[in-house]
Structure formats: C-alpha cells, structure tokens
Chain A
C-alpha cells in the first residue's frame, strides 16, 4: 500500500486507479454506514477520492494510510450530513422500517435483534454514532478512532460508554413498543 501511495504522490495516474480499486469498497461501506443512502454514499466515494487525489502529497505517513483515508471519508460524510440533512431523511426511513416491522410481526430471532441494534445506532447523535461506527463497524482501535475524529482516546472511551448506555435504553424502549404491538394484535 505504501508503495502505491508513493507512486500516487509522484503523479502516477495508473497507481491512483489501482488505489481506487483497492479502497473503493472500504470507503463505500463506511460512507453507506454513515449516510445510509446508496446515492449519497456513491457521491461520497467520488468526493473522497478526489480529495485523496488533491491532497495525497499532504500525507506524510504519520498514521496508516487507511486511517488517513478513513479520516477523509468521515469528514466528507459529515459535510454531506450537514449540507443535505441526510440524517433527518434517514430517520424517517428508519421510522418507516420500524412501522413496517410492527405491522407484520416476524419471528424474533437473534439476527433481527442485531439489525435492530444497528438501527438504534443510527438513532444516536452524531457525537456517539461516529465513534460507534468506526469502532464496531470499521473495527478501528480506540486510538485510531481518536485520530480520525481528532479527539482524545479517553474521549472515545467516554463516548462509546455513553453510546452503549443509550443503545441499551433505546433497545429497551423498542422492546416495550414491540411487546405492546403484539398484545394489541
């Protein structure tokens, strides 16, 4: 990867194409997780790689390239969230999903529970949501999350702790709603 980055820094377009091929899925997944909209995620991929192309010479190798790339992706997604207010739109999608699940109760298995858990993650504030996504979804260490979000590692621990408590509360609430729906039906 380092060799590829060096070639990109020397202006090798073929190397840049190769870098894109290697990292596009990673960037897309993270963007989709944050933005929850395929079109926005595709746009974000474009933005991220254009930024990488423009700023590749600023990368000095202090952190791993993937961490640097993740930082750019998160910042790009944050911009998109702010500009297009995707988050509000997505919240409506989430409510629709919950409503549809309530109308047609399915067999509650472990997998569905986990999916609800991630839906609950999406309801968290950005402050808690991004560390959760980067740590649990992208499997970044807490130190790496701190670098990407430009905060201290102790703050990452604190936010993950709060995120976990909020998730537990949300899941408990979800459980109550679901049980109420079952009894009503």
Chain B
C-alpha cells in the first residue's frame, strides 16, 4: 500500500466501497502516514461543506410557476392524447385496409387456382380418353361424359375430336369441293364434308342432294360468293350460291384446330325459291 493508491481510491475508502481486507490496509496506512491522514481530513471537510451548502440551498417551485407548468402540461398532454388517438385510428384503418387487401388477394388467387384446376381436370379427362378418330369430319366417337350429360362440360364441343377429311384446304377449296360433289351426286362423299351431330347431318345432306338433282345443269361451281365474318370468338366464312341474282344456297365454314369444316347450310325454303325459278 502506498500514498498514491490511497489518494486514488480515497473516496471509495470514505464511502466504504472497498473490500474488507483493502479497507483494513487503507486504515493501517492512513494511521501511520501523516500526508494521507491530512488528505482524508481535507476530503471530509470538503464533503461536509458540500453537504451543508446543498442543504442550505433548497430552492422551491413557486405556486405560480407550478400552476404554469401544470397548465402547459395539460395542453401538451391533450395534444399528445389527441395525436395518440389519431394515430390509433390511422393504424386501425391501415390495418383493416391491408387485411382486406390481403384477404381479397388470397381469395382471388384461390379462385383462380380453383378455375385452373377445373380446366386442367377437363383437359386431363379428355386426354385420358383416347378417342379413335376416323377420316371424317363427323365426330364418330364422343367422350362418354358428353354423351351422358352434354351440359357437364360446357367447354367441350363435339368438334374438339374432329379430323378434317380435307386437310390443308382453304374455305374456297372446300366450298368448291362441296358444290362439285353435290352436283356429281356423290352423297357418301358429301356426308364427310359436313360437321354436325347425327340429327343435323342427315337433313343437311338431304338439302344438297335435292340441290344436285335440280340444279346440276345450270349451277356452276364458279357461281359462289364468299363473305368472311370475323368476331372476337371466331372467324366464319359464309359461301353463297347465286342463281339468277338470288341466293339459293349457303354454306357456313368454321375453323377448328387449324382446319376448315362446313358446319351449316341454308334451310330448304331457299331451295324452294330455286325450284320456283326453274319452273318459270
């Protein structure tokens, strides 16, 4: 123990902040060292003076000042409370908006995934049924589900399983072929060029058979007028058969899977007109 250490830790010694052994060593040193004892006395006197002056200087807050502080605080507290309430409201609003947004987003995502699932399942179902397709425009084999309940798969049409009897033909070429085949009276070949459900196909063929029988000598394949109609959903080519400036026959053509098919023909009433003209 030396004087330097004692002076450095004198306050700790005075405040009993040293461990017992060190405190005892300090006490022994101070008892035998006059300069350190003097330092300790001075330090105690200084502390007493500080304590005494602090005790004598006890300023108090005047009543006016206290009231002023309280008024100011009340105003600031009111502002703070108003802001706190506003902030809470804003936070609640933002939270609700975010929740709604997230909920809507999740719901729409779920809805879309559900839609995709339905579509995918239809495609899978269709793909799983390997439909044997003949060289004909008429759907000979339909998916079993469609036959049982035509409304169960609204996106599925009888034409989805078609193969064209005239692959690569343009609407004009197909129309020419139909008219020529009809004029030649080849009813079996004609049947292959028309797409329809069985209940529709037979009347269609009948119409063209009558047409061939009555107009064979006068109507040429060149007497055809073409009209292309485009809609958002499809492109339809309408082929009109003109005789003496009157439309006596009509074929509607549509494209499926990149190939053109005849889907519709003019009703018999027009053919009646043709018959009347011929009789004149």
Contact = CB atoms under 8 A, between A and B. Distances in A.
Contacts of A113: 49
Given A114-B49, A164-B46, A45 B61 contact: yes
Contacts of A137: 50, 54
A60 interface: no
Given A50-B80, A157-B11, A161-B9, A117 B53 contact: yes
B108 interface: no
B60 A28 contact: yes
Contacts of A117: 46, 49-50, 53
A118 B53 contact: yes
Given A29-B58, A157-B17, A24 B69 contact: yes
A102 B250 CA distance: 127
Nearest to A17: B70
Contacts of A114: 49-50, 52-53, 56
B46 A168 contact: yes
Contact of B47 (A20, A32, A38, A136): A136
A28 B59 contact: yes
A113 B53 CA distance: 9
B125 interface: no
A80 to B, nearest CB: 15
Contacts, number: 90
Given A45-B69, A154-B12, A121 B50 contact: yes
B61 A164 contact: no
Given A46-B72, A167-B46, A168-B46, A154 B17 contact: yes
A160 interface: yes
A142 B15 contact: yes
A112 B70 CA distance: 35
A58 interface: no
B96 interface: no
B69 A118 contact: no
B59 A153 contact: no
Contacts of A29: 58-60
Interface string B98-135: 00000000000000000000000000000000000000
A54 interface: yes
B42 interface: yes
Interface in A110-160: 111, 113-115, 117-118, 121, 132, 136-137, 139, 142, 153-154, 157-158, 160
Contacts of A68: none
A54 to B, nearest CB: 7
Interface string B59-74: 1110001101110110
A160 B12 CA distance: 9
Contacts of B197: none
A10 interface: no
Given A157-B15, A157-B17, 17 more contacts: A25-B60, A32-B59, A38-B65, A42-B69, A45-B69, A46-B73, A54-B80, A111-B53, A114-B53, A115-B53, A117-B46, A118-B53, A118-B54, A118-B57, A121-B50, A157-B9, A164-B47
Nearest 10 pairs of A and B residues by beta carbon = A114-B53, A157-B12, A136-B50, A161-B11, A137-B54, A28-B61, A160-B11, A157-B11, A114-B49, A118-B53
